[in-house]
Structure 1
Amino acid sequence: MTTTTSHIPEHVPESEGPDGGVAAARPARLIHTESTTEIPVHLLFREEPAASSSAPPAEVKLRPAVVGHRPPPEQAEQPEKSAKSAKSAKDDRDTRDIGLRARPSAPGVDPEIAERPARVLPGIAGVLAGTFGAAGCAVTAWWSGVLPPLAVEALGVSAGTGGLGPAQWASFAGAGALGLFGFGGLARGRTGRAWVLELFGRYRGTVRATGLLWVNPLLLRRRVDVRLRHWRGDPLPAADRGGVALRVAVLVVWRVRDTARATLGVEDHQGYLRACVEAALLRVPVAAPGAGRGAVQATQDALTRLVAADAGPVGVEVCAVRPLRVEYAPEVAAAMHRRRVAALDARHRASVVGSVVDSVEDTVTRLTMRGLLDLDDYERRTLVKDLTVAFCAGRGDTGA
């Protein structure tokens, strides 16, 4: 913070006395602190008339100075800045909350479609309800007198004589409905399987429990396999970094994570997964046949990330996408085969020539250093030529 001082003289001279002499100056000091930026000071001087010429110099009396203190601009603007910052923070928080509320849980899928557990009862409840319903029907039949004679004799009771009246029909309807609901809602839950329940087209929950259960028989059940699954498709079109057409067979490891979205979000989640794999192969350059392990791993990682991002919104979790077989497309297979053969032949010839040159150099050097031959330049060139032809012919005969 910059300290500002007012233009006020440090010494205020006293008034001249009657003898014309100038009295000694008295210092009038003002204290300036860092919190003071501008201090307007008005010093009003008033002289007292001297009684005689021999009187001492008149004392200068100062009226109380009126100091107007004004806060510095930084402090004056601080409350306004604080109010603005608080308002902006509130606006940002409200905007963020609205964005979170408006943002769907998965792009392209209804945010209301999300897996949640369905309400089911233990299977014993259905068994008891069905048993009571069947017993109620039997008692009503005996009461109305429609119980078969063999059943009456087996039970050792006398046949009822109530007849089929409104009460008997109501009892039949209630007991029958209880029995149908009790036995009709029994279901067996298995490990790795789930049911997606719907009531008149509305999602009512997912059942992942195992064992004997009772599910409302009015609900439509859709069985979904939630186990870890492998899918190996036919060769699909792809391309390498150079744009050469390829055919790639991939292995996809996946499973259903959200049964509601996988069943209700798309018509067929397996077909959707296949479409995601095809799209990823067209967008990611695949390592060409014969590429190194690092290139193959990079291709696998890129495919896995892309397919997982595309299939995630529909409740499908993709664990890995592995290229199993990579080959050139039929239209370029012959040309690429000739190219690879030519490259292999060129590498083979280079290795043969290099080994022959090394052998000739070693032979000539050893003969010369041991003193077995004393050759001039012409004889040395002739010997090198003959040895080169001999070594090349020998390697050609052995197939090296």
Structure 2
Amino acid sequence: MKTEKPYHPASGYTFLILLLLLLGAAGATVYYLGTGAMVPFWLVFILLCKGFKIVNPNESRVLTLFGEYKGTIKQNGFLWVNPFFAAKSISLRARNLDTNPIKVNDKLGNPIMIGVVLVWRVEETFRAAFEVDNYETFVKVQSESAMRKLAGAYPYDNFEDESEISLRGSSQEVNDELERELMERLAIAGIHVLEARISYLAYAQEIASAMLQRQQATAIVAARAKIVEGAVGMVEMALAQLNDKRLVDFDEERKAAMVTNLMVVLCSDRSVHPVVNAGTLHH
């Protein structure tokens, strides 16, 4: 398989001076031989003018001669090449591809919407020009294909196993995997991936409401567990301090009552209204 090879063109300014000299010679010939002698000069002039190329920074020209690849110009400036060369312009600048979110299924079969942002540029002009039909379309199609594969490899969220990689909870690992996948897919077209990351991620509309309730329930359970854990520690600390300072002597019944009251106060999600007992502890 052929690879990119550099082509070193001649300076365009040198040939521009030659053309000016040619025009001077054509004028002298017309003066001495008549206007009919201008025809060969005009043919040579037009042919040489076709060889001029202007290559801007971060641009290239892929040159072919009657279907044969001759090389790639990456040198910028005012240049001149064989006028029979066919030149195809390929930009070497970095480009962004922001895909529209598409509906796919995650590892668990849940329909989700996912979109990616891809930063890429052409690195190998021969492959971009001749290995694929249209390298820009190739990038778009392969990006969508990589999105579908990535979404099918991981669940949207890890409700049960926090160590499992998920699309929402492990963004760095998922983005690294997406970048590796795209680099492998786009290498055939000479494309170098600078960055790839998920730009949009959400449940599909038909299950978004149910999954939101599930996420809220999971968060509530986790918060309640944390509250209970803290409340138990505070009750233990209160009983220990009261016992150490001997402020109150508790029997098992009184201790159970105090623990119940403290747990209600600490775990309740509403303000607690105290009840003043004017009698004894048992009445």
- TM-score computed with the length of structure 2 as normaliser: 0.80
CA shift in 2, pair 1:338/1:201, >3 Å: same
1:352 paired residue number: 227
Give secondary structure in 2 for the equivalent of 1:224.
Answer: strand
CA distance in 2, matches of 1:219, 1:326: 48
Tell me the residue number matched to 1:213: 79
| Partner of residue 107, structure 1 | none
Change (3 A) 1:259 1:318: same
Q: Which residue of 2 aligns with 1:39?
A: none
1:324 paired residue among 199, 202, 205: 199
Task: Tell me which residue corresponds to 1:283.
Answer: 149
Question: In 2, distance between residues paired with 1:298 and 1:383?
Answer: 49
Which 5+ residue runs of structure 2 have no aligned equivalent?
159-165, 273-283
Counterpart position of 2:177: 302
Cα deviation code 1:23-55 (max 9, x no counterpart): xxxxxxxxxxxxxxxxxxxxxxxxxxxxxxxxx
CA contact (8 A) 2:115 2:201 kept: yes
Runs of 4+ aligned residues of structure 1 deviating over 4 Å after TM superposition are: 237-241, 289-294
Q: Which residue of 2 aligns with 1:51?
A: none
Q: Match for residue 254 of structure 2?
A: 379
Distance 1:363-1:118 versus aligned 2 partners, 3 A rule? closer
For 2:51, which of 185, 203, 208 is the aligned residue?
Answer: 185
1:293 to 1:247, Cα distance in 2 relative to 1, 3 A: closer
Q: What secondary structure does 1:254 align onto? A: strand
Higher relative contact order (CA 8 A, sep 6+): 2
Q: 1:313 to 1:391 in 2, by over 3 A?
A: closer
Distance, in Å, in 2 between the alignment partners of 1:315 and 1:294 is 33
Change (3 A) 1:133 1:382: same
Aligned position for 1:141: 30
Please say if 1:226 is aligned against 2:115: no
2:138 — aligned with what?
272
| Identity score, percent | 25
Residues in 1 aligned to 2:169 and 2:217: alpha-carbon distance in whole angstroms: 25
Q: Normalising by structure 1, what TM-score? A: 0.58
Secondary structure (helix, strand or coil) at the match of 1:359 reads: helix
Q: Aligned partners of 2:225 and 2:82: how far apart in 1?
A: 78
Amino acid at match of 1:179: F
Matched residues in 1 for 2:134 and 2:38: separation? 44
Q: 1:179 Cα shift?
A: 1.6
Match of 2:270, SS state, is helix
> Do the aligned residues in 2 keep the contact of 1:136 with 1:172 (CA within 8 Å)?
no
Q: Name the CA distance, whole Å, in 1 between partners of 2:173 and 2:267.
A: 43
Once the two structures are superposed, residues 106-154 of structure 1 have per-residue CA deviations (whole angstroms, 9 ceiling, x without a partner) of xxxxx24x322336322133213322332233223222445xxxxxxxx
**Which one of the candidate residues 110, 131, 136 is aligned to 2:20?**
131
Distance 2:247 2:130 in 1: 92
1:1-400 correspondence runs (5 A) = 111-112=1-2, 114-118=3-7, 120-146=9-35, 169=36, 171-284=37-150, 285-286=153-154, 288=156, 295-393=170-268, 396-397=270-271
User: Letter of the aligned partner of 2:231 in structure 1?
Assistant: V
Q: 1:89 matched to which residue of 2?
A: none
Q: Partner of 1:191: helix, strand, or coil?
A: coil
Asked if the contact 1:231/1:252 (under 8 Å) is kept, the reply is yes
